[in-house]
Amino acid sequence: MTQLEAARAGNITKEMEEVAHSEGKTPEDIMRHLAAGRLVIPNNINRKARLVGIGEGLRTKVNASIGTSPDIINVDDEIDKALAAEEAGADVLMELSTGGDLDAIRKKVLSASNLSIGSVPLYQAFKEAIDRYKDPNKLTDDLLFDVIERQLADGISFMAVHCSINRLTIERLHRQGYRHGGLVSRGGAYMVGWMEANGRENPLYEHFDRVVELMKKYDAVLSLGNGLRAGAIHDSLDRAQVQELLISCELAEIGQDMGCQMMCEGPGHLPLEDIEANVKLQKRMSNGAPFYVLGPLTTDVAAGYDHISAAIGAAEAARYGADLICYVTPAEHLALPNKEDVIEGVRAARVATHAGDLVKLKNTGRDLAMAHARRDLDWDAQFKNSLFPERAEEIRASRSPEKPETCTMCGSFCSLDNVNDYFKESLKAGKKEKGVCL
């Protein structure tokens, strides 16, 4: 029985209890949202991991992606990146290797990390087709589904599977004159090429029930991959992208009716004015299924700082209801990320999701505590309430002030230090009258 089937039967599982405890919710809350298809728990019966809930009423989660490339194959580096992502605060991890022995790499990452781990099986399927037949377009249905089950058997908890690309979405691409930024999804581009070369429907769409049954077998989450996501802001919300999103939302409902936990994935590159519409469109068409968003990157010209561009978009996406954000690193569009890139990417995404959740969930207590700590020049409390206390302490220690209650930004010109004494009585009166100082 899957988590979704258990929830719909009114049964609270140990996985639901674990998520409820970590989120400060009741198990009944988690069960109710799961049963409605608005929350998922990435899981796999073959592997114990630190579980998180993704969806309605929960804080927005952060995914970190790692993996080799055909140019750089160093498994130890990928393990280091996985552990660094976890330490930096990633909630889930995706292992997206495309170079080397993919089965061996995946197993090593699964063994090293405590996080629930996802994958994109099309990468390995097309790589094996190239290795066997010297041509990705000779990929067979049997090989494709074998790879999916192989990865699930190893313990993958959620999969981005490109089920929503079909002949209709490709027709939209042709009719609109292709795209300004081309196709940027690796799995999506390979599948589109395969369909065009073979004149066939996408097997993942044609045999969607087979995909669902495999996911259910391992109680994993099926994340409907966004193969036609916009890779440039001028392609945002074009007909092909919206067509794929429509199909994803339909498939999410079908998968849920079959008892499978489902997520939808979203773009990509979006200008700020399109983010609200994209999130609300997905939520409306899918009846609130969890939404997994890459970025979104809000400009195309921030190479080297795309993690900042993406953090801006992620804050907006989280604000309007996105449930899982895939981080972007400073190396985006430029190179395979290194360990430092991974850490910066995770931290930027965590700042973004926290900012979005302040609006979405109204959880402002930590920020209020920080405001009071700063007002009172209470440095221990400031560090305690920081998202990254060690980094905050490191910066302060590297530039120690002459006057310990201040910092070297202002020193003796510290505004708070110079004026707080005048408001001590007002502060006491405010606490007495309102219960908290405004």
**Residues 12-63: pLDDT tens digits?**
999 999 999 999 999 999 999 999 999 999 999 999 999 999 999 999 999 9
190 and 113 together in one domain: yes
- Is 434's pLDDT higher than 70? no
Rounded to whole angstroms, the Cα distance separating 291 from 34 reads 14
pLDDT tens, residue by residue, 223-282? 999 999 999 999 999 999 999 999 999 999 999 999 999 999 998 999 999 999 999 999
pLDDT tens, residue by residue, 121-161? 999 999 999 999 999 999 999 999 999 999 999 999 999 99
262 and 328 together in one domain: yes
- Distance, CA of 19 to chain centre: 17
pLDDT tens, residue by residue, 320-374? 999 999 999 999 999 999 999 999 999 999 999 999 999 999 989 999 999 999 9
Position with higher pLDDT, 314 vs 420? 314
- Is 436's pLDDT higher than 90? no
Please confirm whether the linkage preceding 296 is cis (ω < 30° from 0): yes
- Residue 428 has a pLDDT of 78
pTM over 0.85: yes
First-last CA distance in the chain? 51
241: nearest Cα among 319, 182, 288 = 182
- Is 427's pLDDT higher than 90? no
**What range does the domain containing 21 cover?**
1-36
Q: Where does the pLDDT of residue 414 fall: very low under 50, low under 70, confident under 90, or very high at 90 and above?
A: confident
Single residue among 360, 389, 407 that ends a domain in this structure: 360
Residue 79 belongs to domain with CATH number: 3.20.20.540
- Is 75's pLDDT higher than 90? yes
246 and 332 together in one domain: yes
pLDDT tens, residue by residue, 93-113? 999 999 999 999 999 999 999
Q: Where does the pLDDT of residue 421 fall: very low under 50, low under 70, confident under 90, or very high at 90 and above?
A: confident
Position with higher pLDDT, 430 vs 282? 282
Q: Where does the pLDDT of residue 412 fall: very low under 50, low under 70, confident under 90, or very high at 90 and above?
A: confident
- Is 397's pLDDT higher than 90? yes
85 and 212 together in one domain: yes
144 and 68 together in one domain: yes
Q: What's the domain count of the chain? A: 3
- Is 430's pLDDT higher than 90? no
- Residue 276 has a pLDDT of 98
343 and 377 together in one domain: no
What is the SS3 assignment for the chain? Answer: CCHHHHHHCCCCCHHHHHHHHHHCCCHHHHHHHHHCCCEECCCECCECCECCCEECCCCCEEEEEECCCCCCCCHHHHHHHHHHHHHHCCCEEEECCCCCCHHHHHHHHHHHCCEEEEECHHHHHHHHHHHHHCCHHHCCHHHHHHHHHHHHHHCCCEEEECCCCCHHHHHHHHHCCCCCCCCCCHHHHHHHHHHHHHCCCCHHHHCHHHHHHHHHHCCCEEEECCCCCCCCHHHCCCHHHHHHHHHHHHHHHHHHHCCCEEEEEECCECCHHHHHHHHHHHHHHCCCCCEEEECCECCCCCCCCHHHHHHHHHHHHHHHCCCEEECCCCCCCCCCCCHHHHHHHHHHHHHHHHHHHHHHCCCCHHHHHHHHHHHCCCHHHHHHHCCCHHHHHHHHHHCCCCCCCCCCCCHHHCHHHHHHHHHHHHHHHHHHHHCCCC
Q: Where does the pLDDT of residue 419 fall: very low under 50, low under 70, confident under 90, or very high at 90 and above?
A: confident
Neighbours of 234 (CB within 10 A): 13
341 and 408 together in one domain: no
30: nearest Cα among 61, 62, 54 = 54
- How far apart, in Å, are the Cα atoms of 202 and each of 86, 174, 224? 35, 17, 14
Single residue among 332, 360, 388 that ends a domain in this structure: 360
**Percent of the residues in the chain that have a pLDDT greater than 70, as a whole number:** 98
104 and 75 together in one domain: yes
> Across all residues in the chain, what is the average pLDDT?
96
Q: Where does the pLDDT of residue 432 fall: very low under 50, low under 70, confident under 90, or very high at 90 and above?
A: low
Spatial neighbors of 351 by CB under 8 A, at least 6 apart, are: 311, 315, 387
276 and 342 together in one domain: yes
144 and 215 together in one domain: yes
Residue type, 226: N
348 and 311 together in one domain: yes
User: Is 92 within 8 Å of 118 (Cβ atoms)?
Assistant: yes
User: Is 156 within 8 Å of 117 (Cβ atoms)?
Assistant: yes
Rounded to whole angstroms, the Cα distance separating 309 from 296 reads 8
Spatial neighbors of 77 by CB under 8 A, at least 6 apart, are: 338, 339
413 and 286 together in one domain: no
Return the structure tokens found at 236. Answer: 């945002």
- Residue 288 has a pLDDT of 98
Q: Where does the pLDDT of residue 431 fall: very low under 50, low under 70, confident under 90, or very high at 90 and above?
A: low
Single residue among 360, 392, 425 that ends a domain in this structure: 360
User: Is 114 within 8 Å of 51 (Cβ atoms)?
Assistant: no
